[in-house]
Amino acid sequence: MFKELNPLLHSELRLAVMSILISAESADFVYLRERTGATAGNLSVQIDKLQKAGYITVTKSFKGKMPCTTCAITAEGSAAFAEYVDALADYIGRKP
Amino acid sequence: MFKELNPLLHSELRLAVMSILISAESADFVYLRERTGATAGNLSVQIDKLQKAGYITVTKSFKGKMPCTTCAITAEGSAAFAEYVDALADYIGRKP
DNA sequence: TAAAGTAGTTTATAATATAAACCAAATTTT
DNA sequence: AAAATTTGGTTTATATTATAAACTACTTTA
């Protein structure tokens, strides 16, 4: 009955990041920090986990002279997100 | 944009328990353990947390000679669950 | 009556989330 | 141009959480 909830996605901040990237396709560190309201430290750690899981790609570049970290969702991340949402339906009683 | 996800409900097992109690109104320990697939120890701890939060009531009795722990959702628990589901919609992009 | 099962609780440990402290480079202020 | 501040992060320490393993108390079965 209850499907397992992917623990990598079952985290408030990582879920928020994935949620943004699902519709934005690409977003930089500062944007993600502002949209989620997270601290930079926390965001840094969670981005790292999502990247290591292969759910997002992280690209480092410069915008002018300032460093810029850009994140984008991968096909794998997109699929995992969809699966998570589907599993959640069991718990919250809303069929997708 | 992203509402806070009630950390008491944002837990796989506690969410499963609440989900069952939302539709069952009352369920005993063994039933909850079987439905969720959780270990008795974990379930015991999580039931305790939900009770302390005022989200469920826990009644101890005997079925024949065997002890029986029965859980039921409270109005407060029901409201918190609804609020959690509503907040989740922000993250998973499904309006309730 | 000994062994095995039931219904849990307590406790120890592993995993997680989070913020605080830090760093290097860029920018602004004096 | 030196000092102070801001920006864009990372690392690390700590608090919280989840979980299983070990335990208790009692019951049933062989």
Q: Give the start-to-end residue ranges of the domains of chain A.
A: 12-89
Structure tokens of B59?
Answer: 């009644």
Q: Where residue B95 falls among pLDDT bands split at 50, 70, 90?
A: low
Poorest-confidence range of A3-12, A45-54, A87-96?
A: A87-96
Chain A residues close to B85, C-beta within 8 Å: 92-94
Structure tokens of A8?
Answer: 């990598």
Say if CB A96 and CB B96 are below 8 A apart. Answer: no
Interface size A-B, in CB pairs within 8 Å, comes to: 54
| Per-position b or e across A7-42, b if 16+ CB within 10 A of its CB | ebbbbbbbbbbbbbbbeeeebebeebbebbebeeee
Q: Measure CB to CB from residue B12 to each of A10, A35, A92 and give the nearest one.
A: A10
Tell me which CATH code domain A12-89 carries. Answer: 1.10.10.10
Crossing angle between the packed helical segments A75-92 and B75-92, to the nearest 10 degrees: 160
Say if CB B90 and CB B4 are below 8 A apart. Answer: no
Going from the C-alpha of A54 to that of each of B7, B16, B25, the distances in angstroms are: 26, 28, 41
Q: Where residue B96 falls among pLDDT bands split at 50, 70, 90?
A: very low
- The answer on pLDDT for B45 being more than 90 is yes
- pLDDT at residue A1, rounded to an integer: 78
- pLDDT at residue B94, rounded to an integer: 60
- The answer on pLDDT for B18 being more than 60 is yes
Q: Which residue of A has its CA nearest to B19?
A: A91
- Give per-residue pLDDT as tens, A13-32: 999 999 999 999 899 999 99
Residues forming a β-bridge with A27? A71
- pLDDT at residue B14, rounded to an integer: 96
pTM greater than 0.75 (yes/no): yes
Given CATH 3.90.950.10, say whether it is the number of domain B12-91.
Answer: no
- pLDDT at residue A56, rounded to an integer: 97
- The answer on pLDDT for A96 being more than 60 is no
